[in-house]
A and B are shown apart, each in its own frame.
Chain A
Amino acid sequence: MSWAELRPSPHLKRELIAVVIALLVSLAFGSVLMLVAGKAPGHVWSQMVLRTFGDEYLLGQVLYKATGLALTGLAVALALDVGLFNIGVEGQLVAGVLASGVVGAALPATTPAVIAIPVCLLAAAGAGALVGLVIGGVRIYRDAHEVITSIMLNASITGLALYIGNVALFRGGSTRGPDIAPGAQLPQLGFGGSSVNAVLVLAVLVVAGMWWLRSRTTWGRAWLAVGADPAAARCAGISIGRVQLLAMAGSGALAGLAATNFVLGHKHAFEEGLGRGTGLLGISAALLGRTHPIGVALATLVLGFLSVGGLAVADEVPKELTEMLQGVVVLAAAGAGPWLARREALQARAA
């Protein structure tokens, strides 16, 4: 199966229209749900915007959500760029949470930040990359569909992490492991005491770095070529397997890095269920952003706003409403592109 229709085509205008359609469909769907819940949609939407943007804390929470989502979204996007669908981001994220939590706690309490932070970042990225390599390797060498292995690995890693936690890490009946070394704890960025932290800076750097790699280096050209047309890429002398394997490792590393937003930046320990859902929602971010790094970054802000905004108006409508919208965005984003392309083709034929 090819994922060509999910990646940006040269038609920038069509891409933008598709995204706008996806957002409008979600807006309409959400409004219908609000009517079902017996509330006036205009009132709820405006309250959602006013409360979220009028409150420093909630704004910080949007950025906190967006930080994790940007990294998992870029992870999904990188895999899509080489023609693979990494739905294993959720598992890679859990691997990163476990690795950075365990390594961070194992470091001596006196470890200076210059050593502790890079070590924990590497542990998170390395654990994610390892999982990505397994999925990519099984796909490339055994031809097992990456969607199935990813889903199976997600469940396995989550269970394994819980087991390791229960046996070795959790203290006193809680589902929280020991604290990581103080040197590895990243500073908060203020915003009314919200959870947004220094990983936001890392995420911005990664977005810029991915943009540069993708559009300004031979690596980026190679992985876009492999995704767009494997046969042509092979003729140009690119090793498809190697590019895909490297990209899956990179994708896993990005997903693992997303874990640091929760472990190093916020909770300062391994916790059961930490960051859960960020991996799956990364798929929405990648699709809505059409795999372009800038697009993904903007999409994460929209999705972050939806999940925080849902909580902000929880007294008006059930907060699950915005969770549903995250699914609707995926469906609408996947449907709008092909629909527009076919409409344009029909118009061209008529003209």
Chain B
Amino acid sequence: MIEAIFSLTVLVQAIRFAVPTALAAMCGAVTESSGVIDLALEAKLLFGAFAAAAVAHATGSAYLGVLGGVGAGMAVAAVQIWCALVLQANQVIVGIGLNLLALGGTRFLLQLIYHEGANSPAVPTFAGPLAANPVLWLAVLAALALPFAIRHTRWGLRLRAAGDRPDALVAAGVPPLRPRLYAALVGGALAGAGGAQLSLSIGGFVADMSSGRGYAALAMVILAGWRPALAALYCCGLALADAINFQLQLAGAGIPHELAQIIPHVLTILVLVIVGGKHGRPPRSLGRV
């Protein structure tokens, strides 16, 4: 049993599980740091997963599929920013509306393109070991580069200003819409790649395959105090717990799978109850247009 937990299999499994959620969490952290509430992570993952599968199926290349996922994530982010900042609709509602749209939309496209209700046809996956997976390296790169970029580049400075002091940004002659759009597009690209990992790693798209990962990622963002790398790290912790339980179940032990799936959610509630919602420092003008 102990060997089953401390094995390479568990580690590889954990990394596989962690990549989509961690990418979504980094998207949430970046977008929210610029002052826009990001509840549309589910939509970015789902559309990303579908687009990646569709492009991979059409071109026969999983690598082009990743680009498809990235594009879909960015497109969702652009629509989100348009609704939230140009129409000035309530940002939480925009997120939920987009998630509903993604749930129905991906199934509509499945039906339209492949005449299937729940599954896409089999698509190419990444050949070779986990280390050959470009999405994994994108996630690692993002986790290393984002904290630096947010602190030390002009992009990051403007992003933080848009999230904390948009009035100062206006005074400096920069409309806050622009850094917020750039932040959302970078985030959308990451979350879209996360979606690509979801579908390409199992060789096809399945309806509702994001299954709440986007929401869990957002909870990790809040727990991490809107720090992208830390949020990604928390997601890895969740994934490790998932992977260990998966192995335990294979060994005939562990927690029943219905309960195992809700542990991250229960933990999140407990942490929120214990540390309270004032934990961390949210961007000062989060959700204000």
Contacts and interface: CB of A to CB of B under 8 A. Distances in A.
B94 interface: yes
Interface stretch (A149-157, A189-197, A224-232): A149-157
Contacts of B99: 327
A321 interface: yes
A334 B108 contact: no
Interface string A64-97: 0000000000000000000001010000000000
Interface in A156-206: 156, 158-160, 162-163, 166-167
Nearest to B102: A327
B212 A160 contact: no
B96 A87 contact: yes
A33 B87 contact: no
A320 B272 contact: no
Given A163-B256, A318-B112, A327-B101, A147 B92 contact: yes
Interface stretch (B5-13, B121-129, B164-172, B262-270): B262-270
Given A327-B104, A334-B93, A162 B258 contact: yes
Contacts of B219: 148, 151-152
Interface string B94-113: 10111111111101101110
Given A159-B259, A339-B87, A331 B98 contact: yes
A142 B89 contact: no
Given A143-B278, A321-B108, A327-B105, A151 B90 contact: no
Given A138-B272, A152-B265, A155-B212, A330 B100 contact: yes
Contacts of B261: 155, 159
Contacts of A152: 215, 219, 265-266, 268-269
B108 A156 contact: no
B269 A149 contact: yes
Contacts of B105: 320, 324, 327
Contacts, number: 148
A37 interface: yes
Contacts of A280: 96, 100
A339 B112 contact: no
B277 interface: yes
A163 B276 contact: no
Contacts of B90: 3, 5-6, 334, 338
A330 B93 CA distance: 7
Contact of A145 (B94, B111, B112, B222): B222
Contacts of A6: 90, 93
A36 B113 CA distance: 11
Given A163-B259, A287-B93, A323 B272 contact: no
A87 B100 CA distance: 13
A119 B267 CA distance: 33
A31 interface: no
Given A6-B90, A149-B269, A149-B272, A156 B262 contact: yes
B146 interface: no
A158 B211 CA distance: 12
B94 A331 contact: yes
A159 B277 contact: no
A320 B107 CA distance: 6
B45 to A, nearest CB: 15
B218 interface: yes
B225 interface: no
Contact of B269 (A85, A153, A325): A153
A156 to B, nearest CB: 4
Nearest to B267: A152
Contact of B273 (A138, A147, A284): A138
B96 A143 contact: no
Give 6 closest A-B pairs by Cβ, nearest first.
A323-B104, A327-B100, A327-B101, A318-B111, A330-B97, A159-B262
Interface of B: 37, 39, 83, 87-90, 92-94, 96-105, 107-108, 110-112, 212, 215, 218-219, 222, 256, 258-259, 261-262, 265-266, 268-269, 272-273, 276-278, 287
Given A5-B90, A144-B272, A338-B90, 5 more contacts: A145-B222, A159-B265, A323-B104, A327-B105, A330-B93
